[in-house]
A and B are shown apart, each in its own frame.
Chain A
Amino acid sequence: MAPRKKPSAKAPVKPAAAAQATAQPQPIVPAPKGPVDNRALPKKESELFRQVLQLYETKQFTTGLKTVNQILENFPDHGESLAMKGIFLSCTGQKPLGYETVKRGVAKDSGSHIVWHVYALILRADKNFEEALKCYKKAVAIEPDSMSLMNDLAMLSVHLRYYAEYAAARLSILRSQPRVRRNWVYLAVAQHLAGQHWEADRTLTHFEKMLRDVPDREYEYGEILMYHAMVLEESGDLERTLEFLSEQSGQIVDRTAYSVQRAHILLKLGRLEAADWAWEVILEENPDSYEYIKASVLAKGADCDAKTEEGRAKAVEILDKLAEKYPRSLAIRRISLELVSGADFRTRAFTYLTNALSKGIPSVFADIKSLYTDKEKCQIIGELAEAFRQGLEEKGNFGAAEDDDTVESSTTYLWTLYFLAQHHSALSNHSAALSLLSLASTHTPSLPELHMLRARVLKRAGDEVGAMNAMQEARELDGQDRFLNSKCAKYLVRAEKIKEAEEVLGLFTKKDAPSPLEDLIDMQCLWILEEEAKSFIRQNNHALALKRYHQIFKTFHDIEEDQYDFHSYCIRKGTLRAYIQLLRYNDTLRSHPSYVAGAKGAIEIYLRLHDDPSSIQPPALTNGEAEEERKRLEEEEKRVREKKEREEKDRLEAERIEREKKLSKQVAKDKGKKVADKKPEPEKEVDDEPAFDLDPRGLQLLKAEEPLVEALKFLRPLQKEAPKEVETWFLTFEIAMRREKYLQALRALRSAYALSPSHPSLRPLITRFAVLVRSSSFASTQNEFVTSTISTELPELLGGLELEQFVVDGLQKSEGAEQVLGAARSMLELRGKDGEKKEVEELVFQLLREEVAVKVKPTLDGLRLLNSFSSPRADEYRQLASQRFPLARVFKTAEELAALDAKAEVKSEDQAGKEVVEE
C-alpha cells in the first residue's frame, strides 16, 4: 500500500472546500431564482457572515460559533447561519446537536447551495459518503458554476464507483477550466473507468497534442503515454495499440513495461516471428521470470501448458534450447520438470535437486512441492532423495558416478535430510519426518530451519505444545529474525498462550505503542487477529473472538477508506496505471483470505447466538479483570458526565454573553472582536481526546440484540467483493435460512453450485434445503411464487434425483476425507434430529479406515459431528483417532494430557540437570 495517510477526522474541511465557501459571493444579493427569501442580510450581518466563513476556514470553531450566534440573535431563521452554527457545533464535539442544527438550516433555506455544502461536509467528515454525495448533487444543482463543489462531487462519485457521473462531472469541470492540464487527465481516467475507451483515447490524444516542448524522456509524460497504451489495449484495438507504442516509443521511459506490453500484444496478434524476437530481448534481461519464459515458448510455437504429449515434448525441446542459452536460469529447468515424466523426469530431477541441495537452498522443497500432485513424480523424488542420503552417508557425494572421488560440503547432507523430512511430512508420514529431523539435529543443531520444520511436523501431527516448544527453540537461535519471531508467536497462540505470544511480538513492535497488539493492529497485521480469534473460540471466549473479528473488519474498512486520498494524489503524481490497479484491487478487496476467514468466524458466532444464545456465555472474568472492567466502566461514566457538565457550562456561558450583549450590544461586539483578535491560533478541539476503546473485551459485541443483522454486516461486503468465493454463498445460505428468505437461500445454493458443484460442504446444505421444502408446513406458509420457483429450480441442484437417492448417491461418490464427512453430514440432515443415526456413525467411522488419507482436522470434525448428536460411539471414535494420530492432543482425555505434560516437564528437567559449570 502507498503511504498510510489516514483521512483525518479532526479536520473535516479540506482547505479547498473552505476556500470555496469564503470565495463565494456573499448572499447579499438575493438569489435570482425562488421566492423572496430571508437569505439576504443587512450590511452589518452580512459582514459578520463573511467573518464566520473565514473563521471556519481557519478552524477557529469556538470564535466562529460566537460570531454566528450574533447573526442568529437578530435573524434566528437565517438558514445559512444555522448551517454554519451546526458545523461549528459538530466540530467542537457536539455532533448530534450539530447535525440537528444543520438540518434546521437546510429546512429554513433549501435553496441555498451553502447549506447543502455544509451538510455534505459534515456527512463526509463522518465518512457517510453516499449521503454526502446526495447533498453535493443538490448544491451543484443550485450552483453549477462552482468548481470546487464540482470537484468534491467528482471525488465522491469515483470513490463510490459512479463512473458515468464521474465522467460527466469531470467533463463539465474541463469545460470551464480547459487550461488546467490536470483536468484533461482526470477526464481521460474518468472516461476509461466508465468504459468509454474511445472517448478516453480522444481526450488523451488531444491532451498529448496540447503539450508542447516536452523535454526528452520526461517520466511523467512517458507515464501518460503508457497509460494511453493501456486504454487502447483495453479497448480491444490491438493493432492501434501497437502502432501507438511504436510511434511514441522514444518518449516512453519505463522501457520494461513498454517492451513487455508490446511483446504481449504481438503474441496476441499471432505475429510469432516478431513476438519471438521481442521476447528474446526481454528474456535476456531476466531469464528467471516464469511469465517471460512461458511467453517465449508460446512465441516459438509451443505451449508450456500443453495438454497433449506431443505439445509437451515440443515445449521441452524449446525449453532445453533456452536452458542452453541461459545456463544459470533455474526457472527454465523447473518448468521442464512439469512437462516431462518417467526416466527423463528422473534425470532432470537429479540435476535440479543435486544443484539445489549442494548450494543449500532451503526452499527447494517448497519449490518442487507442486509436482507432488503427480504420484509418479512424488515417488521418484522420494527415491532420489533417499539415494542422495545413502550416497552422502557412504561416500560423501550424491553417488552418481563410481569413480567420483570428490565430496560434497558438509551442509549438503544436512539439507538432504531436511528435504527428505519435508518429503515425508508432505505425505503425512510424521514419525519418519521426525526421526530424520532428529538425525539432522545431531548433525547440526544450530540450523533454525530444522527446529521450524520440526514445529510444523508436530503441528500437522496435532501436537500444538510440542510444536510451540520447537518453534521457541528456533527463535532462540536467532533473536533478530522477524520471521522466526512471528512464527513463534503464532505457534504460541495456537497453544493458547496469548499473553506469552504478545510478549514475544513485543520484541519487534514499537516500544511506545500502548501494547504490542495495538501496534500490530495499527500496522494492519491480519494474521495475529485471525489466530487469536481462533484461539479464543477454542478457549470458549467468544466475546474476545468477536472483538478480533471486528478488528479484522475494521482493518479492511480502513484500507477501503484510505483509497479516498488517492483519487487526487495519483493524478497529481501521474501514476495512472498504478491508480487503475488500485481501484480494481479495491473492487475485490474483501476476497482477501483474511477477510473471508474473519467474516466466516464472526458469522458463525452470530449464528450460534441466534440459534441458541445460551450456548455462548460471556467469559468469566478473573478478579483482576473484573476489577479492571469495573474501573473502566466508571471512568467511562465519569467521562460522559464531565462532558455533559462541560457542555452545560459552555451553554450557560454562551447565554450569559448573549445577555450581556443584549444589555450593551456595542460593547459586547467590541469585546467579541477583541477576543477574536487575541486568539488567532486555532482553538483546541474537544474531539482531540484519544480514541477510547469502549469495549476492549468484546462483552458488548456479545450482547448484540439482533445477531443476524450483525452477521449481515460481515456478509454484504463478501457478496459484493468476493462473489467467486464459494464460502460466501454458504454463509449467505445459512443466514437466509434463518431469516426465512428461501429464495435467497436457493440463489446462494445455485451460486455455490456454479462455482464448485462437488464441494463437500454443498451436499449437506442442499439436503437441508430439500428436507425443509418437502415438509408439509412449508408450502402452506409460503406464497405461490416462492414454492413454484423452488420446485422448478431445486431438481437441478439434486442432479435430477429424488432426495433419498441424492443422499445415497453422495455416499457412493465420496472419496477422500472431506467428501466422506460431507456425505455423513448430508445423511444427518436427511435423518433429522430424532432420526436413526446408525448410518451417520458408520460414515464417520469410515474416515479412520486405513485407505482414507485423512489429516487431523477432518478427523476432529468427525468427532465433533458425532458429539453434535451425542453419539454413544463418540468415545470409541476418539480412541481410534488417538491410535491413528498418537501425537494429536485433541484426541486425548484430560488425564492423558496431564500425564503427557508432567512427563515433558520431567524430561526438560533432566536436560537442565546436566552438570552446570560456574565459570
Chain B
Amino acid sequence: MSVLSSLPTLPAAQEPGKTINGKRVRVPPRVTLGEITPNNVGTLKKLNLCLFPVSYSDRFYRDVLDLEITPEEYSKLVFYQDIAVGSIVSRLEPISTPAPTSISASVVPPSTSSAPVASSSSSTPAPPAPNGTTTEAHGEPSKLYIMTLGVLSPYRRQGLASKLVQHVIQEAEASLALAPAPVAAEEPASKKTKGEEKDAKEKKKEEKEEVSKPRARVESLYLHVQVSNDEAKRFWEKHGFEVTVGHRSQLLPQDRASGCVGAREEDCRSLGLRQRTDDGG
C-alpha cells in the first residue's frame, strides 16, 4: 500500500483541497491541523490501523502523548471538513544519541552551501531571535525523526500531506530562530499563502508560550522510506529532503520505516532521507 501522498505536479505551497487529481473542487473544503490529545488519540489509532500494514503497540501511543518525546508542534492530525483524515507523528531525539548505528555511519554530513532540494529556490534570512533569548541557550541540539506520515486514500493528491510536512518544517525552523545561533541560519523560503500566514501566526503564538521553557533546537529532520517507493521519494525530495543512503532493513530491526514499508523481508531496502534545517549545524 502506498501511504505517502506525493504530488509531483502540485506546487509545494498550494492551498490544500483546491483540486483533486487536477480537477477543480466545486466547494473547496476547509483543511486545518489539530493537536493529538488523550481524547482523540483513538482517532489516530483508527487512522493508523487503516493506513499502515502493521499495528503499533500501546507504547507508541503513550509516546505520542508524551510531550517530551513527541512535542505537540511536530505531531498533528489533519482535518478535512472537520474530519480527521491523516496525521504526522515525529519524535525528538538528542543529536548526541546515536541514530541507528548503521545509519549514522552512513549518513553523509550535510554540505554547508547547498540549500535543501526543491523547496528553497530562494533563501531568506531567518527572523531575528527575540531579545533576551539570545543569551540563554535554548534546549539541546536535537534532530527530529518523522515516524509516520499518512493520509487516507480518498483524500490524497489534494496537498494534505504537504501541509503536514510543511508545518513540521516550519516549526523546526522556528525552533532554530529562537536559538542562539551564531550565524544567521539560511532558511528555505516560505511562500506567503494564506494558509501559511496562518501557520506563521500559530507559530508566533507558540513561540510566545515557549519562551519560558527551553525548546529543543531541531537541527535536522530525517526519516525512512522504502527503497522501491519512488513516489514517496519524490515527495520528500520536493520538500527539501535528500537521499542520504540506502541500507538494508535489518539495520532497523524494529521496523522504523513502517510509515513507508510494507514488508520486512530481508531484501527490503530503506532510504535514509535527511533535511538540513541549519547550515551552521
Size category of the binding interface on chain A: 20 to 34
Q: Digit string of B20-41 for contact with A (CB within 8 Å is 1, else 0)?
A: 1001111111000000001110
- Do A919 and B83 touch across chains, with their CB atoms under 8 A apart? no
If A444-B154, A915-B55, A917-B54 touch, does A478 touch B39 (CB 8 Å cutoff)?
yes
Q: Is A27 an interface residue (CB 8 A)?
A: no
- Do A447 and B57 touch across chains, with their CB atoms under 8 A apart? no
Residues of A within 8 A of B46 (CB): 445-446, 476-477
Q: Digit string of B248-281 for contact with A (CB within 8 Å is 1, else 0)?
A: 0000001110100000000000000000000000
Contact residue among B42, B53, B152 (Cβ-Cβ distance under 8 Å from A476): B42
Q: Is B103 an interface residue (CB 8 A)?
A: no
- Do A919 and B254 touch across chains, with their CB atoms under 8 A apart? yes
Q: Is B81 an interface residue (CB 8 A)?
A: yes
Residues of B within 8 A of A480 (CB): 39-40
- Do A477 and B26 touch across chains, with their CB atoms under 8 A apart? no
Contact residue among A360, A397, A446, A476 (Cβ-Cβ distance under 8 Å from B26): A397
Residues of B within 8 A of A918 (CB): 57, 59, 254
Contact residue among A359, A396, A405, A914 (Cβ-Cβ distance under 8 Å from B55): A914
Q: Is B155 an interface residue (CB 8 A)?
A: yes
- Do B43 and A446 touch across chains, with their CB atoms under 8 A apart? yes
- Bound: A478/B42 CA distance, A: 7
- Bound: A411/B158 CA distance, A: 13
- Cβ of B268 to closest chain A Cβ, rounded Å: 14
- Do A407 and B258 touch across chains, with their CB atoms under 8 A apart? no
- Bound: A359/B82 CA distance, A: 11
User: Looking across the interface, which residue of chain B has its beta carbon closest to that of A917?
Assistant: B54
Q: Is A358 an interface residue (CB 8 A)?
A: yes
- Do A446 and B29 touch across chains, with their CB atoms under 8 A apart? no
Q: Is B7 an interface residue (CB 8 A)?
A: no
Q: Is B49 an interface residue (CB 8 A)?
A: yes
Q: Is A725 an interface residue (CB 8 A)?
A: no
- Do B254 and A478 touch across chains, with their CB atoms under 8 A apart? no
- Bound: A864/B158 CA distance, A: 57
If A396-B23, A478-B42, A917-B254 touch, does A411 touch B47 (CB 8 Å cutoff)?
no
Residues of A within 8 A of B43 (CB): 446, 477-478
- Bound: A916/B56 CA distance, A: 5
Q: Is A443 an interface residue (CB 8 A)?
A: yes
Q: Digit string of A334-360 for contact with B (CB within 8 Å is 1, else 0)?
A: 000000000000000000000000111
Q: Is A479 an interface residue (CB 8 A)?
A: yes
- Do B83 and A447 touch across chains, with their CB atoms under 8 A apart? yes
Contact residue among B17, B45, B50, B258 (Cβ-Cβ distance under 8 Å from A409): B17
If A358-B27, A477-B42, A918-B254 touch, does A407 touch B56 (CB 8 Å cutoff)?
no
Q: Is A24 an interface residue (CB 8 A)?
A: no
- Cβ of A396 to closest chain B Cβ, rounded Å: 7
Q: Is B80 an interface residue (CB 8 A)?
A: yes
- Bound: A405/B42 CA distance, A: 37
- Do A919 and B20 touch across chains, with their CB atoms under 8 A apart? no
- Bound: A394/B40 CA distance, A: 33
- Cβ of B144 to closest chain A Cβ, rounded Å: 15
Secondary structure call for the A interface: loop
If A407-B26, A408-B25, A917-B54 touch, does A479 touch B42 (CB 8 Å cutoff)?
yes
- Do A410 and B60 touch across chains, with their CB atoms under 8 A apart? no
Task: List B residues 186-217 near A (Cβ within 8 Å).
Answer: none
- Do A396 and B20 touch across chains, with their CB atoms under 8 A apart? yes
If A396-B20, A443-B154 touch, does A916 touch B39 (CB 8 Å cutoff)?
no
If A411-B83, A479-B39 touch, does A917 touch B258 (CB 8 Å cutoff)?
yes
If A358-B26, A407-B25 touch, does A919 touch B56 (CB 8 Å cutoff)?
yes
- Do B49 and A917 touch across chains, with their CB atoms under 8 A apart? no
- Do A407 and B24 touch across chains, with their CB atoms under 8 A apart? yes
Q: Is A363 an interface residue (CB 8 A)?
A: no
Q: Is B84 an interface residue (CB 8 A)?
A: yes
Residues of A within 8 A of B50 (CB): 442, 445
- Cβ of A734 to closest chain B Cβ, rounded Å: 48
User: Looking across the interface, which residue of chain A has its beta carbon closest to that of B82?
Assistant: A360
- Cβ of A907 to closest chain B Cβ, rounded Å: 15
- Cβ of A142 to closest chain B Cβ, rounded Å: 66
Q: Is B147 an interface residue (CB 8 A)?
A: yes
Residues of B within 8 A of A397 (CB): 26
- Do B56 and A409 touch across chains, with their CB atoms under 8 A apart? no
Q: Is A74 an interface residue (CB 8 A)?
A: no
Task: List A residues 887-919 near B (Cβ within 8 Å).
Answer: 914-919
- Bound: A444/B82 CA distance, A: 12
- Bound: A916/B40 CA distance, A: 21
- Bound: A917/B84 CA distance, A: 23
User: Looking across the interface, which residue of chain B has its beta carbon closest to that of A397?
Assistant: B26
User: Looking across the interface, which residue of chain A has its beta carbon closest to that of B58?
Assistant: A916
- Cβ of B37 to closest chain A Cβ, rounded Å: 8
Q: Is A413 an interface residue (CB 8 A)?
A: yes
Residues of A within 8 A of B39 (CB): 478-480
Q: Digit string of A436-451 for contact with B (CB within 8 Å is 1, else 0)?
A: 0000001111110000
Q: Digit string of A744-777 for contact with B (CB within 8 Å is 1, else 0)?
A: 0000000000000000000000000000000000
If A445-B47, A477-B46, A478-B40 touch, does A413 touch B83 (CB 8 Å cutoff)?
no
- Cβ of A837 to closest chain B Cβ, rounded Å: 53
Residues of A within 8 A of B27 (CB): 358-359, 408-409
- Cβ of B133 to closest chain A Cβ, rounded Å: 33
- Bound: A407/B25 CA distance, A: 5
Q: Is B66 an interface residue (CB 8 A)?
A: no
- Bound: A442/B56 CA distance, A: 19
User: Looking across the interface, which residue of chain B has its beta carbon closest to that of A415?
Assistant: B81
Q: Is A406 an interface residue (CB 8 A)?
A: yes
- Bound: A342/B40 CA distance, A: 45
- Bound: A480/B83 CA distance, A: 15
If A477-B43, A914-B55 touch, does A406 touch B26 (CB 8 Å cutoff)?
yes
- Bound: A360/B59 CA distance, A: 35
> 14 extra interchain contacts, Cβ-Cβ under 8 A, other than A406-B25, A919-B56?
A397-B26, A405-B23, A409-B81, A410-B29, A410-B154, A444-B85, A446-B152, A447-B83, A477-B46, A915-B53, A915-B54, A917-B54, A917-B55, A919-B59
Identify the B interface with A (CB < 8 A): 17, 20, 23-29, 38-40, 42-43, 45-47, 49-50, 53-57, 59-60, 63, 80-85, 147, 152, 154-155, 158, 254-256, 258
5 residue pairs, one from A and one from B, having the closest CB atoms: A479-B39, A476-B42, A409-B29, A480-B39, A406-B26
Q: List 29 A-B contacts (CB under 8 A).
A: A359-B27, A396-B23, A397-B26, A405-B23, A408-B25, A409-B20, A409-B28, A409-B81, A410-B154, A410-B155, A411-B83, A443-B152, A444-B83, A444-B154, A446-B47, A446-B85, A476-B42, A476-B46, A477-B40, A478-B43, A479-B40, A915-B54, A915-B55, A916-B56, A916-B57, A917-B54, A917-B55, A917-B56, A919-B147
Identify the A interface with B (CB < 8 A): 358-360, 396-397, 405-411, 413-414, 442-447, 476-480, 914-919
